[in-house]
Amino acid sequence: MTHPRTGLWFIGARGGVAATATLGLLALEQGHAGHWQTSDGPVRKVPPARDQVGLVTAIPQFAALDFVPWRNLVVGGHDVRACHIADAALTLVHNGAIKLSLVDEFMDSLNQIESNIELGALFNSGQAIERLAAVEPTRRTARETVESIKRDLRSFARDEELERVVVVNLASTEPPTDVADLPERWEELEKLLDANGCPLRASSLYAIAALDLGMPYINFTPSLGASLPAIEELAVLRGTCHAGQDGKTGETLLKSVLAPMFAARNLEVMSWVGHNIFGNLDGLVLNDPANKAAKMQSKDQLVGQILGYDPQTLVSIEYIRSLGDWKTAWDHIHFRGFLGTPMTLQFTWQGCDSLLAAPLVLDLVRFVELSHRLGEVGVLSHLGSFFKQPLGLAEHDFSRQFSLLCDWAERHASPQSRRS
Amino acid sequence: MTHPRTGLWFIGARGGVAATATLGLLALEQGHAGHWQTSDGPVRKVPPARDQVGLVTAIPQFAALDFVPWRNLVVGGHDVRACHIADAALTLVHNGAIKLSLVDEFMDSLNQIESNIELGALFNSGQAIERLAAVEPTRRTARETVESIKRDLRSFARDEELERVVVVNLASTEPPTDVADLPERWEELEKLLDANGCPLRASSLYAIAALDLGMPYINFTPSLGASLPAIEELAVLRGTCHAGQDGKTGETLLKSVLAPMFAARNLEVMSWVGHNIFGNLDGLVLNDPANKAAKMQSKDQLVGQILGYDPQTLVSIEYIRSLGDWKTAWDHIHFRGFLGTPMTLQFTWQGCDSLLAAPLVLDLVRFVELSHRLGEVGVLSHLGSFFKQPLGLAEHDFSRQFSLLCDWAERHASPQSRRS
Amino acid sequence: MTHPRTGLWFIGARGGVAATATLGLLALEQGHAGHWQTSDGPVRKVPPARDQVGLVTAIPQFAALDFVPWRNLVVGGHDVRACHIADAALTLVHNGAIKLSLVDEFMDSLNQIESNIELGALFNSGQAIERLAAVEPTRRTARETVESIKRDLRSFARDEELERVVVVNLASTEPPTDVADLPERWEELEKLLDANGCPLRASSLYAIAALDLGMPYINFTPSLGASLPAIEELAVLRGTCHAGQDGKTGETLLKSVLAPMFAARNLEVMSWVGHNIFGNLDGLVLNDPANKAAKMQSKDQLVGQILGYDPQTLVSIEYIRSLGDWKTAWDHIHFRGFLGTPMTLQFTWQGCDSLLAAPLVLDLVRFVELSHRLGEVGVLSHLGSFFKQPLGLAEHDFSRQFSLLCDWAERHASPQSRRS
Amino acid sequence: MTHPRTGLWFIGARGGVAATATLGLLALEQGHAGHWQTSDGPVRKVPPARDQVGLVTAIPQFAALDFVPWRNLVVGGHDVRACHIADAALTLVHNGAIKLSLVDEFMDSLNQIESNIELGALFNSGQAIERLAAVEPTRRTARETVESIKRDLRSFARDEELERVVVVNLASTEPPTDVADLPERWEELEKLLDANGCPLRASSLYAIAALDLGMPYINFTPSLGASLPAIEELAVLRGTCHAGQDGKTGETLLKSVLAPMFAARNLEVMSWVGHNIFGNLDGLVLNDPANKAAKMQSKDQLVGQILGYDPQTLVSIEYIRSLGDWKTAWDHIHFRGFLGTPMTLQFTWQGCDSLLAAPLVLDLVRFVELSHRLGEVGVLSHLGSFFKQPLGLAEHDFSRQFSLLCDWAERHASPQSRRS
């Protein structure tokens, strides 16, 4: 199978995750991501696949999948801010997360990608996001907003001669959407697009625009996006696929790995407290209580689901400026062992948020592009291991989610495929 | 199926794990393990199975297995020390690990069990263990020692009218045995029992005695025990089964849960440091470098096996008197993310060693008794999730080990079975 | 100097701290506090003063002070709840913090002390405290409430033939009092006692009652108590002394020890995050945002005062039921070293709150009793090392505060004194 | 007072600490150390003194001291390795500890300083150091070695027209020297310099060379250096001063800050465990058991000295390559509170070793230069707060040590002095 050119459209294209994913993609095309010189010698000697540290698609289990090569991917996107994609990258340099030389090397490519970034839309996006934006909240209707997004997506596909465009939501977290009164069918929801006071937020309008054009859509954020029966129906009607929701990168990943251990050993979790501190733009937006609510909900539900009962849980996310992109999480798990004796597990996770998220974004794009190429339609539930709130999957245990992915990969192995 | 009386023979019967398992068994027979009054109210309201916190055999996945009821189990054992089984229990009370009232309540039963405990044998056991012992290192040959052990086991079975005796090694860790020159066949090894300077240590002689009598054997320690081709052959020859080796209770359990996450996410583990401190009798024995060697080896190999490459690892176990049975482990995992950026995960595990081990011992007895009853012969590899060095299983990923156990359970479900 | 009988009047006498202080006092009278049998042998061999672990007054620096002997102290108090003083002690037993045998041994004494506990007063105490109380919020005026408290204090002194009564506030934290419009002089404030809508809360009425009777007063809580110019004047007018405010027992103690290190080494603290979780009654009351406000303010100010600039700080206190009296604090200090490089210090403090506070209460009673006996009047600023918000002292550095106490002790050494 | 040119002679001039101190000095001369752009804005706005983060001499308490200006300092040194001073700086860049641009900017100056670095001497230095060296172990006598060092020091002083040279030992830690049979008087010790098998090691020969020339000497390492009565006498005979030993930068600093808190609160420390992991050259040398012994001794003694009794202590230092210069220490302090209840404090310190040490080296040079200029002779005990094993001071409590320094500063304040 030859691979056509594929577009990668980032909503929030100038944010930290998108900038890191873009920079990483450029480095992967050159074949030298991961060449970080360490104290143990000039360049690490590791098996080839290890050059792609952090990429799930690079592990042996997925070697037989016919992924689109890195060099066939073209980046574009929307952003409501007026800065440059390199700004986010430089912030990561200042945070000590990536090297200046990496940004320097790809400055020309970043400038070129900038020309593919359009000004995004605010629509019920909430004050925290509006404060960051270079645009005014729109006075357009939801439908007009959707149509404007579609125009940008079509132009991108046409100008760059793309066979396929994967749209990824990487924008800041919106406040929760009140979905109680939203209709379950697309034909009903569609009517709301013309109504005054349409309750949908921007993330869902982006999802509608992409899916309505038959483009696959990935929601890497806690915002609502396509996570609504009516929009899921739209995807099926248009014969396209989507995945989500909210990338599982750090503390929640650990929860989905550790909670099954307590369940398997029948150790009773009495309380699970998680405190997260970090200082990037995401953190600033989450510092607004309305936006934080969406995130907390996404982080806090899986422990009870895995255990089968509800221990007392507490999750906090706080904006601590000095930490920049380094998210530090402290979790305190208080559990009861045999004969009722209380014991404790604590962990501290110090990870660079954008660098944990970006490779997963690239992995998801490859998986979703492949599914779309293979004709899969609707929610891609086999991608649940990537998400805090896996769409179409009632399983939060990471190892079981990962087994589902491996099973899918076995079924879709392409014997003749070569790794890109 | 009615359940006959089953003997439970602990080697190291007066140690902390055996004492806790014994006490726990007594409580389970009364149906009130886990009734630990907490600050949140008189008695916790939880589903019935939750009364058996810490018991793997009590979780829903194993509800259809026809386990021997607790009340059918009878405890006996060997110990080289001359103390009382209640002493170890009282030490746990002093450590704040269990309540005095629990020991008080079952004092009569403990006294009765004491009468089933015979003085054990020292045989190449090493200085650290010899220092603790009330007996002199034996001058008997290996064969005489084996015969003496057999006499005790037969008496126990006869006096208590037992259909079956499961022998469990819970004794202090021996120094490593040099297995390089040991023969692979039982008929060859057997000849060594009469030789001067037989290199086997006590743990293997106990294993030989049990298996030769057709009794199932469990090795919960890092000592060699039955982990030798010739002894494994003996088990098959006698039509019995065995499992081991070295119970996976705390830090290593976490390693087997966390390392697969790093592998699945292709995050490169550069170094994994684990420091363990604790102050019980086991710790005192492990403070001897010869004995520590066996333990370290058992704790340190699985990370590389799971990851598929060998990061720098460091494991220490130190005896800190004040901690008593509370083993505290600090692990520092230094890993590399996308674009080569180093990140860190640290955890601190504060668990009561005997209370983590004891329920697993009871679980293993139930599983092994059932396998024996079902006629399974040789190494029980489906029990690998219980062990640091799973015999017959080249898999260290806890969730995959646990899946194997669940699969076995499904195959052996007894629809009409009721939980004891 | 012979020592007369001294009363020790606890406001909040049935709470965890008061119960522990009472139980500890009973044990000290018997001379056997601290005889906790450990795994390292029957009874610890330590220098005599070490029997009094946790008592500041027992260290060599204060050996020459003529403290009142433990056996001369008589306990009484107020509480708004209708439970028994032993209930709080039993909760600590359930939490694994103290041994049941200790409560058993002194049950008769506790019953006797119960007869000295009167029902306390609610007065602007806030909903969280009112929910716990066995009494209705009073309809009496502030003056009537003060007079009622005085009657109880006088009865106690008379019935128990006490030369002196030290009143200690150990009650749950009230919401902050709005002190903006309160007069600075006692003669003005006193008039408010008869007014409708007197803004003072119960803690201040207790302080007024005690000081007006010439009794020394200690405020171990963040509630306002005597921390008002007009009430401080009252103490001086009546020739008595007082100390406060808010006992410094755990996380804040560490802050006052660590922050000076960063200052002395010119390491720039960029952010200091502290998360506290615990599950005792105090925690339940602090879970109410109004009450929490008072506590947070008390915990969060000293870092900036010690450093001389204001890093970003965050303090949270959350109620986690399962922890009971075990307060766990995680602090994350992000600082900048030479050439601007960011570094990190994290600590986890796992302490039993009542057991940390109770000896300090007994220490303060001894120090304050001595000051009163010596004729000291007004705020006892040399006791600042005991408090999060030291009255009369603009110094938060623990070691400097402690030096002030040692200096005071040197000036008041009683050469002929013998340690009680 | 005008300031003459002062030499700064580093033994181990191409190591991490010396390279960082050199680079920092160059930056300070330019007035822009600490301009590390962070996520919180272009350049931090802080009081002037804050540009010098990490420098003790820059805090207000020492503002009135007439320190030599940075620009008057000239760097030279010895090293047994044949690399370039910039190599160590680049390793720190690779570790993410300093920025490449800083090294780039001062490359010319570093090259010039390289021309002041002479090949050092091995003398009983032990195998771990010999393995690193570009020179063969000397066959010269101790006296010949001393004379050779003196020649280098005199040339440096003459060529650079220096009024004064401060010699600082920053070389890798030697194995402990057996001092039992060494004479107490200089005239006796001097005779040993000509003997075959002189037991002194290189660090002491350097100290003798410097002091014999009247140059002040600072021992920032655990090696013996001048810490011998006979060599201390030499300093007095030659009218010069010296300070040491072993810079207190991280974990031990915290011990000297935290242990006094436990003492003041009479909380009984039962055990204090400290595990240190790091991966720089120092770590590699300390990985040799002989060299580690010297370091461990230095880190482990002060807890008992401060507490007045000896809890069980354990200190480990392990070489973990991936950590580079980032020393991570985990300390676990198990202590007993009131009524004997065990509690726990844990801390994790993640600091960049060279960046913690380097400013202290510059501080010490300034303090020692000033003392020498003021005519102080012998051990400078007021500098004890800088050292793990403070010479001439039996006090390990950091805050008391620091008070001594402040007192000294007050006595030597130079009212007319301006800060450099």
ipTM of the complex: 0.93
Inter-chain residue contact A332 with C332, CB threshold 8 Å: no
Summarize pLDDT for C303-357 with one digit per residue, the tens: 999 999 999 999 988 999 999 999 999 999 999 999 999 999 999 999 999 999 9
In this prediction, residue B154 carries a pLDDT of 98
Inter-chain residue contact A312 with C332, CB threshold 8 Å: no
In a domain, D240, yes or no: yes
**Dist. CA B220–CA B207, nearest whole Å:** 12
pLDDT above 90 as % of chain B: 74
**D383 in the same domain as D316:** no
The conformational region for residue B14 under phi > 0 = left, psi -120 to 50 = alpha, else beta, is alpha
* Structure tokens that stand for B327 in this block: 């083993």
Confidence band for B416, pLDDT divided at 50, 70 and 90: low
In this prediction, residue B393 carries a pLDDT of 95
HEC string of B83-119? CCHHHHHHHHHHCCCCCHHHHHHCHHHHHHHHCCEEE
D5-28 average pLDDT score: 95
CA-CA-CA-CA dihedral for B242, B245, B246, B249, to nearest 10:
-80
Inter-chain residue contact A253 with B265, CB threshold 8 Å: yes
In a domain, D192, yes or no: yes
| The last residue of a domain, from among A352, A372, A389 | A352
Inter-chain residue contact C20 with D338, CB threshold 8 Å: yes
Inter-chain residue contact C96 with B96, CB threshold 8 Å: yes
Inter-chain residue contact C312 with A321, CB threshold 8 Å: yes
Measure C312 CA to nearest chain A CA, in Å. 7
Q: State whether residue B279 sits within 8 Å of chain C by CB.
A: yes
| Subunits close to A (at least 3 CB pairs below 8 A) | B, C, D
Measure B379 CA to nearest chain A CA, in Å. 22
> Would you report the helix, strand and coil content of chain B in percent, each value rounded to 5?
45, 20, 35
In a domain, B12, yes or no: yes
**A87 in the same domain as A141:** yes
Q: Which residue of D has its CA nearest to A35?
A: D94
CA-CA-CA-CA dihedral for D255, C409, C166, C383, to nearest 10:
-50
Mean predicted lDDT score pLDDT of chain D: 90
The number of folded domains in chain D is: 2
In a domain, D1, yes or no: no
- The helix/strand/coil state of C41 is strand
Please list the alpha-helical segments (H only) found in C133-286. 142-159, 186-192, 202-212, 229-237, 251-264, 281-286
CB D51 within 8 A of CB D33: yes
Query: Quick check: pTM over 0.90?
Result: yes
Inter-chain residue contact C279 with B39, CB threshold 8 Å: yes
Mutate: best of B35, B36, B39, partner C, most C CBs <10 A: B39
For chain A (420 residues), the mean pLDDT of every run of 10, in chain order, is 87 95 92 43 37 89 94 96 90 87 92 94 89 81 95 97 97 90 94 91 97 98 96 97 95 96 95 92 79 73 91 92 93 94 96 95 98 97 97 95 97 65
Half-sphere exposure of B174 (CA within 13 A, CB side): 26
CB A199 within 8 A of CB A172: no
Q: Which amino acid is at A80?
A: V
Q: Which of D39, D100, D279 sits opposite A324 (nearest CB)?
A: D39
* Residues pairing with D318 in the sheet: D277
Q: State whether residue A42 sits within 8 Å of chain B by CB.
A: no
In a domain, D420, yes or no: no
In a domain, C418, yes or no: no
| The last residue of a domain, from among C338, C353, C368 | C353
CB D162 within 8 A of CB D153: no
* Residues pairing with C273 in the sheet: C314, C332
In this prediction, residue D47 carries a pLDDT of 35
Instruction: Round to the nearest angstrom and report the end-to-end CA distance of chain D.
Output: 12
CB C114 within 8 A of CB C85: yes
Count of CB pairs separated by less than 8 Å, C with D: 202
Q: Which of B273, B320, B344 sits opposite D314 (nearest CB)?
A: B320
Inter-chain residue contact C341 with D23, CB threshold 8 Å: no
In this prediction, residue A331 carries a pLDDT of 97
**A143 in the same domain as A79:** yes
Report the candidate in B137, B277, B267, B263 with the shortest Cα–Cα distance to residue B202: B137
Which residues of chain D are within 8 Å of residue B332 when distances are taken between CB atoms? 277, 328, 330
| The last residue of a domain, from among B308, B335, B352 | B352
Residue whose pair of structure tokens reads 């005192």 in the numeric block: B284
Report the candidate in D332, D367, D335, D328 with the shortest Cα–Cα distance to residue D351: D328
**B332 in the same domain as B383:** no
E strand or H helix that includes residue B219:
strand B217-219
**B178 in the same domain as B149:** yes
D315: containing domain: 251-351
Q: State whether residue A280 sits within 8 Å of chain D by CB.
A: yes
Cis bond upstream, residue A112 (ω within 30): no
E strand or H helix that includes residue D104:
helix D100-105
Summarize pLDDT for D240-276 with one digit per residue, the tens: 999 999 999 999 999 999 999 999 999 999 999 999 9
DSSP result, D376-417: --EE-GGGGGGBSS-TT-----HHHHHHHHHHHHHHT--TT-
Strands B342-352 and A342-352: antiparallel
Q: Which of D56, D352, D399 sits opposite C337 (nearest CB)?
A: D352
CATH of the domain at A104: 3.40.50.720
* Structure tokens that stand for D58 in this block: 């820059």
* Residues pairing with A78 in the sheet: A11, A118
* Structure tokens that stand for B44 in this block: 């916790």
**Dist. CA A130–CA B147, nearest whole Å:** 83
B165-184 average pLDDT score: 93
CATH of the domain at D310: 3.30.360.10
In this prediction, residue C30 carries a pLDDT of 82
Q: Which residue of A has its CA nearest to C335?
A: A322
Q: Which residue of C has its CA nearest to B350?
A: C350
Strands B312-319 and C73-79: unpaired
Inter-chain residue contact C341 with D309, CB threshold 8 Å: no
- The helix/strand/coil state of A203 is helix
Measure C51 CA to nearest chain D CA, in Å. 9
Inter-chain residue contact D321 with B312, CB threshold 8 Å: yes
Residue whose pair of structure tokens reads 């992000």 in the numeric block: C334
Q: State whether residue A101 sits within 8 Å of chain D by CB.
A: yes
Q: State whether residue A12 sits within 8 Å of chain B by CB.
A: no
* Structure tokens that stand for C402 in this block: 């402690």
**C135 in the same domain as C38:** yes
CB A39 within 8 A of CB D279: yes
Could you give the angle at the alpha carbon of A149 between the alpha carbons of A144 and A151, nearest 5°? 95
In this prediction, residue D132 carries a pLDDT of 85
**B255 in the same domain as B163:** no
B171-195 average pLDDT score: 92
Measure C274 CA to nearest chain A CA, in Å. 10
- The helix/strand/coil state of D141 is coil
Q: State whether residue D38 sits within 8 Å of chain A by CB.
A: yes
* Structure tokens that stand for D133 in this block: 């060296």
CB B129 within 8 A of CB B41: no
In this prediction, residue D46 carries a pLDDT of 41
**A108 in the same domain as A218:** yes
Using a 10 angstrom Cβ sphere, with 0-12 exposed, 13-18 middle and 19 or more buried, the burial of residue A31 is: middle
CB atoms within 10 A of CB B101: 10
In this prediction, residue A240 carries a pLDDT of 98
Summarize pLDDT for D54-66 with one digit per residue, the tens: 999 999 999 999 9
Inter-chain residue contact D39 with A101, CB threshold 8 Å: no
In this prediction, residue D1 carries a pLDDT of 55
Examine the pLDDT at D234 and tell me if it is beyond 90: yes
CB C255 within 8 A of CB C289: no
**Dist. CA B5–CA B9, nearest whole Å:** 13
Summarize pLDDT for B286-306 with one digit per residue, the tens: 777 777 777 777 677 899 999
**C233 in the same domain as C344:** no
CA distances from B385 to A231, B60, B248, B364 (A): 43, 17, 8, 11
**D145 in the same domain as D78:** yes
Which residues of chain B are within 8 Å of residue D344 when distances are taken between CB atoms? 350
In this prediction, residue B1 carries a pLDDT of 55
**C381 in the same domain as C344:** no
In a domain, A420, yes or no: no
Inter-chain residue contact C94 with B348, CB threshold 8 Å: no
Inter-chain residue contact C266 with D54, CB threshold 8 Å: yes
In this prediction, residue C139 carries a pLDDT of 82
Instruction: Kindly give the confidence (pLDDT) of every residue in chain C, 420 residues in length, as a single tens digit, with 9 standing for 90 and above.
Output: 578 899 999 999 999 999 999 999 999 988 754 433 333 333 333 433 446 899 999 999 999 999 999 999 999 999 999 889 999 889 888 888 888 888 999 999 999 999 999 999 999 988 888 888 887 777 889 999 999 999 999 999 999 999 999 999 999 999 999 888 899 999 999 999 998 889 999 999 999 999 999 999 999 999 999 999 999 999 999 999 999 999 999 999 999 999 999 999 999 999 999 999 999 887 788 777 777 777 777 677 899 999 999 999 999 889 999 999 999 999 999 999 999 999 999 999 999 999 999 999 999 999 999 999 999 999 999 999 999 999 999 999 999 999 999 999 999 988 654 444
In a domain, A1, yes or no: no
Q: State whether residue D346 sits within 8 Å of chain B by CB.
A: yes
CB B325 within 8 A of CB B352: yes
Confidence band for D39, pLDDT divided at 50, 70 and 90: very low
Inter-chain residue contact B261 with A23, CB threshold 8 Å: no
**C215 in the same domain as C81:** yes
